[in-house]
Amino acid sequence: MIPKTIIEKQLTALSASLAPIREEVFTWAEQNIFLKWGVLSRSRFYCLECAHVWKPSCQSTCAKFTTCPACKGKLKMMPYNQVHFKETEYFAVVESCAGFQVVRMFIAHKHMKKSFAPTYFHKEVMQHWINPKGEVRTLALSTNVFSSTLDAWKFYSPLEIKPKDFIRNAKFYINPYRVHPQMKVLPILRRNGFKTSVYDIAPHLLFSSLLSDPIAETLLKSRQLNLLQYYLCASRQDIRRNWQAVKTVIRNGYKISDVQIWEDYLELLRYFNKDLSCALYVCPENLSEAHDRLMQKKRNLLRKKKLHDLRLEIEKAQKRYASDKKRFFGLLFTEKDLSISVIENVRDFMTEGDDLHHCVFANEYYDRKDSLILSAKIDEKSVETIEISLSKMEILQCRGLKNKPSKHHSQIMRLLSENLYQIRERMKKRKAKTASR
């Protein structure tokens, strides 16, 4: 995109004036953002970090990790044997320039081969320029427009200014794995509570929020880091709506262990007309137990008072739900005895909530426009319920019995991640039909 406005021309010129990244920064990245890998091949262990080869003991052949006797590195074992190995990560460097806060994003490739030392490739792919008002403009390399993957950069292209809404595209919304510890930040960010850590939040998002959003500033200064991460990163949250309760939490120095459960708990408190400024309700000693107790109370109340009305309510909700989510019906992902499918009936939401003792039905997850709810089953028995954000195409939560992860959690998350593209394809088909009309 050719810079047209005064600010676009200014940022393009300032970007060209930035000093090249020092070699020690790349050395830091190579040592801190990549895992150390090993591989078992032909009854030999190969360290892909220092190229050492040795014969393993019988006990270590099935281990997920082992220690290289030469470099003493803790190696994660590759689950398969091949000739070449590659790992890709992102890291960021934070600078300030001409009154702007600058976040420079780099992609790093680590190429590994048995019996050879690893080689590295680093390339700056994006720059976020943030003014003191929190407005963000981005320069980035060109990408392959036909690719939906995150890393389809054209490395030969220059950094060029992008449209204002560029960063809202989930494909380019990158949270780096590490941020270089030597940061140069604007004094106003120090004043607004920033010290040395970005707390696993994308730096450009944290900085722009601290400069433009008093809620983010308040949460950071009060050290409510779980709430801050949830407020800035979760696509579904009600921090503003629950601000009275948040202030109660801050006043009492209460630390929330699970913000999603806490927000669901607040919905239950609101349902029973409890005072959200009262610490006795808002700051329970055991959040999970308090949530489950109110959940059971609401479930019993619904069954006792609305048994007949519930049938009519489910029928009406089913029509709305089918209208919103019918395009996803029939989706099924399977692996051995595990199956993951979209919940197609509102009545099944009630069954799912009863079986797993959580609030997927009572809190009316079927009415959430941006959420797709799936059920993971082992031998036809529900083990976890999954919520996916349709706008960001990411897994928001995956909870089993009493909101705890089941023993199949890792397998469920992996299978679901591998098949997210099928949900994305159905979204595209719906958009194409709408456009054709």
- Alpha-carbon distance of 221 to 198, in angstroms, equals 13
Q: Is residue 374 part of a domain?
A: yes
List residues bridging with 161 in a β-sheet: 139
Which of 299, 333, 352 is where one domain is finished? 299
If 0-12 CB within 10 Å is exposed, 13-18 middle and 19+ buried, where does residue 247 land? middle
- Answer for the pair 188, 101: CB distance below 8 angstroms, yes or no: no
Q: Is residue 150 part of a domain?
A: no
- Alpha-carbon distance of 65 to 38, in angstroms, equals 8
Provide the b/e sequence for 215-226 (b: ≥16 CB within 10 Å). Answer: bbbbbbebebbb
| pLDDT band at residue 131 using 50, 70 and 90 as cut-offs | very high
Q: Is residue 1 part of a domain?
A: no
Give the pLDDT of residue 428.
79
Give the pLDDT of residue 150.
65
Q: Which one has a higher pLDDT value, 233 or 235? A: 233
Q: Are residues 259 and 352 in the same domain?
A: no
Q: Are residues 167 and 19 in the same domain?
A: yes
Q: Find the radius of gyration of the CA atoms of the chain.
A: 25
Q: Is residue 306 part of a domain?
A: no
| CA–CA–CA angle 321, 402, 328 (5° rounding) | 25
Residue 287: domain span: 213-299
Q: Are residues 274 and 128 in the same domain?
A: no
Which of 299, 334, 368 is where one domain is finished? 299
Q: Is residue 200 part of a domain?
A: no
Q: Which two tokens stand for residue 253?
A: 């120095």
Q: Are residues 273 and 322 in the same domain?
A: no
Return the percentage of the chain with pLDDT > 90, whole number.
Answer: 64
| pLDDT band at residue 115 using 50, 70 and 90 as cut-offs | confident
Give the pLDDT of residue 239.
86
Please check the confidence at residue 432 and state whether its pLDDT lies above 70. Answer: no
| pLDDT band at residue 56 using 50, 70 and 90 as cut-offs | confident
Give the pLDDT of residue 22.
94
| Residues 145-190: tens digit of each pLDDT | 666 566 788 999 999 999 887 776 766 788 999 999 999 999 999 9
| Residues 380-413: tens digit of each pLDDT | 899 999 999 998 889 999 999 999 999 999 999 9
Mean pLDDT along residues 287-294:
94
| pLDDT band at residue 94 using 50, 70 and 90 as cut-offs | very high
Q: Is residue 358 part of a domain?
A: yes
Please check the confidence at residue 278 and state whether its pLDDT lies above 60. Answer: yes
Q: CB neighbours (10 Å) of residue 344?
A: 17
SS3 at position 101:
strand
Q: Integer distance in angstroms from the first to the last C-alpha of the chain?
A: 31
In degrees rounded to 5, what are phi and psi of residue 17? -90, -5
| pLDDT band at residue 143 using 50, 70 and 90 as cut-offs | confident
Give the pLDDT of residue 166.
75
| Residues 26-43: tens digit of each pLDDT | 999 999 999 999 998 888
State the average pLDDT for the chain: 89
Nearest to 391 by CA among 139, 173, 95, 200: 173
- Alpha-carbon distance of 224 to 230, in angstroms, equals 10
- Answer for the pair 242, 266: CB distance below 8 angstroms, yes or no: yes
Provide the b/e sequence for 265-283 (b: ≥16 CB within 10 Å). Answer: bbbbbeeeeeebeeeebbb
Give the pLDDT of residue 144.
78
Mean pLDDT along residues 97-119:
94
- Alpha-carbon distance of 223 to 190, in angstroms, equals 14
Alpha-carbon separation of residue 106 from 18, 118, 208 (angstroms): 14, 19, 20
Q: CB neighbours (10 Å) of residue 307?
A: 9
Q: Are residues 401 and 328 in the same domain?
A: yes
Q: Are residues 275 and 332 in the same domain?
A: no
Give the pLDDT of residue 430.
63
Q: Are residues 362 and 420 in the same domain?
A: yes
- Alpha-carbon distance of 410 to 416, in angstroms, equals 10
Helices (H), 213-258: 214-221, 225-233, 243-251
Q: Which one has a higher pLDDT value, 246 or 147? A: 246
Q: Are residues 339 and 411 in the same domain?
A: yes
Q: Are residues 18 and 140 in the same domain?
A: yes
Give the pLDDT of residue 388.
94
Q: Which one has a higher pLDDT value, 210 or 426? A: 210
Q: Could you say which DSSP state residue 286 is in?
A: S
- Alpha-carbon distance of 395 to 402, in angstroms, equals 19
Maximum CA pair distance of the chain?
72
Please check the confidence at residue 25 and state whether its pLDDT lies above 90. Answer: yes
- Answer for the pair 286, 261: CB distance below 8 angstroms, yes or no: no
Q: Are residues 31 and 138 in the same domain?
A: yes
Q: Which two tokens stand for residue 236?
A: 């579904």
- Answer for the pair 327, 430: CB distance below 8 angstroms, yes or no: yes
Give the pLDDT of residue 271.
92
Please check the confidence at residue 337 and state whether its pLDDT lies above 80. Answer: yes
Nearest to 38 by CA among 48, 30, 27, 53: 48
- Alpha-carbon distance of 32 to 25, in angstroms, equals 10
Tally of domains in the chain: 3
Q: Which amino acid is at 393?
A: M
Please check the confidence at residue 332 and state whether its pLDDT lies above 90. Answer: yes
Which of 243, 264, 299 is where one domain is finished? 299
Give the pLDDT of residue 254.
95
Q: Is residue 204 part of a domain?
A: no
Q: Are residues 267 and 328 in the same domain?
A: no
Q: Is residue 206 part of a domain?
A: no
Give the pLDDT of residue 328.
92
Nearest to 332 by CA among 323, 341, 345, 324: 341
Long-range Cβ contacts of 383-386 (<8 Å, 24+ apart): 383/356, 383/408, 383/412, 384/356, 384/408, 384/409, 384/412, 385/352, 385/356, 385/358, 385/360, 386/340, 386/412, 386/416
- Which residue reads 């459960």 in tokens? 261
Give the pLDDT of residue 392.
87
Q: Are residues 18 and 138 in the same domain?
A: yes
